[in-house]
Amino acid sequence: MVPAKLTLTLCLLFALPALRADPEADVRDAVTALSRASYAWETTVRQRFTSETREPRLNPNAPIEVRGRTDPQTFTEITQLPTRDLPVPVTAVFRGGEVVGLTPAGWQRRTEMRPPAGADRPVAFGGQQVRAGRVFAAARQVTARRPPNEDLLDLLADLKSFRSVQGLVVAELPDRAIERLWGDDRAKRAPDVHGSVIFQLSAAGLTEYHIVLAIGFPNSRTRKTDWSIVQWSTRFSGLGATVVEPPPGAVQALDDQSIPR
């Protein structure tokens, strides 16, 4: 069950006009519209915390992990932002079913992304000296990403129990989806699991969605449930007005990739 009361911060942050009587139809229509339009987005890092309850603590200031732009008629460009392990961004450009990522060796397809001998040696990339192996690993990772509308279409096949809560649409995730999204086997071992997707809609369409996963284990001392929570958010902008102009080198690499070999 979704908590009847969301936190005050959540309510204030996402106050919305009244939705139609069918929240599931609202979400499905918004995701369909998103799939047909150009847009930009940003997705936060996964935030992890423990709690005595499974209520979300959505943080509008959470660090951004990925930024992207997509136009179904042209290109998709996805950039993984710098991290502690790799302090430079890494970008991939997609066109149809083809993709190239930027590496120290230039724009390459995934099958070409092999770090040179001595992967821990420093190489010049993004204006810094970084370890070659980490750049190639990040490039392979970003070229495997998808625009959010594709992830949402997969999620819609699992979601159930759509409802309006304080102007938001909240839908439940089944156990199998929670186990898949959690990322390790603790979700399979947990006696109590819960997952929801929180959607924010506006007149322009889908503006944000938030995934909140919680797994609970009984605490023999307190006789309560200890909850571990993972949550992350994706925010959209420029719906129908985003132009994607990837670097010329990426376009040339995609053109070369299209040539039969």
Span 137-177, pLDDT tens digits:
999 999 999 999 999 999 999 999 999 988 899 999 999 99
DSSP of 75-103: -EEEEEPP-SS--S-EEEEEETTEEEEEE
pLDDT of residue 151: 96
Pairing of strands 64-70, 90-95: unpaired
Span 174-210, pLDDT tens digits:
999 999 999 899 999 999 999 999 999 998 899 999 9
pLDDT of residue 119: 65
Establish how many alpha carbons lie within 13 A of residue 38's alpha carbon, considering only the half-sphere containing its beta carbon.
15
Pairing of strands 192-202, 205-219: antiparallel
- Residue 202 CB neighbour total at 10 angstroms: 13
Rounded Cα distance between 26 and 112, Å, is 43
Rounded Cα distance between 4 and 10, Å, is 13
Percentage of the chain modeled with pLDDT above 90: 75
Mean pLDDT of the 39-53 span: 95
| Nearest Cα to Cα of residue 205 among 28, 33, 17 | 33
Structure tokens of 81? 């932002």
Mean pLDDT of the 45-70 span: 92
Question: Per-residue confidence at 76, pLDDT binned at 50, 70, 90?
Answer: very high
Mean pLDDT, the chain, whole residue set: 89
Question: Per-residue confidence at 118, pLDDT binned at 50, 70, 90?
Answer: low
